[in-house]
Structure 1
């Protein structure tokens, strides 16, 4: 699958306020907008023998990130599966029409959610972590 900008899947107002409606979106839409951070952590946890990092992007000069993804050896993993890092950054920059900054994430999921105002797994309509692990396993990693 070719990288797609996360913004393509932005949640509607009802999807932002009603967790059941948000949950019922396709996996790709769910993990592009609203649960990308959980997918990144699930990817890292799925491959503990790999040095998978977590990064995010934000608008230049902004404090909070809007899209989070896993990284490994020049590759990224997000709602679009595994793609070369430059491709993911390019499609998001072009879609948003603004310069983006990459941010290395070196804190726990709990701290990340607190710092960036993201939902914790228990704040979703159902458990998103199993859904995230299943989604990770459906995508062939670059080392396979």
Structure 2
């Protein structure tokens, strides 16, 4: 699957306020907007033998990140599956109409969620980690 901008799946006001409604979206929409950070951390955990980084992007000058993904050796994994990282960054920059800042995330999931105002796994309708593991399993990693 070709990389698709995360912004194409932005949540509606009801999806932002009601976790059950957000949960009921398609897997791609759920992991594009609202749970991308969970998918990134679960990806890293799923391939613990690889040096997978967590990366977030934001608009220049903005403190808030709007998309998070896993990165390994020039590849990125997000709601679109595995794609070359430059392609993922380009489609998101094109969608947003401006360049993006790439941030390597070094803190753990809990700290990231607190710092960037993202939900922790226990704040979803159900635990999103099993759903993320299933989603990751649908894609062949680039090293396979």
TM-score norm. by structure 2 comes to: 0.99
Residue deviations 1:28-51 (CA, integer Å, cap 9, x gap): 000000000000000000000000
* Structure 2 residue aligned with 1:45: 45
* Structure 1 residue aligned with 2:103: 103
Residue deviations 1:39-64 (CA, integer Å, cap 9, x gap): 00000000000000000100001111
* Structure 2 residue aligned with 1:132: 132
* Structure 1 residue aligned with 2:69: 69
* Structure 2 residue aligned with 1:112: 112
Separation of aligned partners in 2, 1:20 and 1:5? 24
* Structure 2 residue aligned with 1:15: 15
Moved over 2 A (4+): none
Separation of aligned partners in 1, 2:32 and 2:45? 19
Q: State the aligned residue count.
A: 144
Q: CA RMSD in A?
A: 0.4
Structure 1 gap segments, 5+ residues each? none
Structure 2 gap segments, 5+ residues each? none
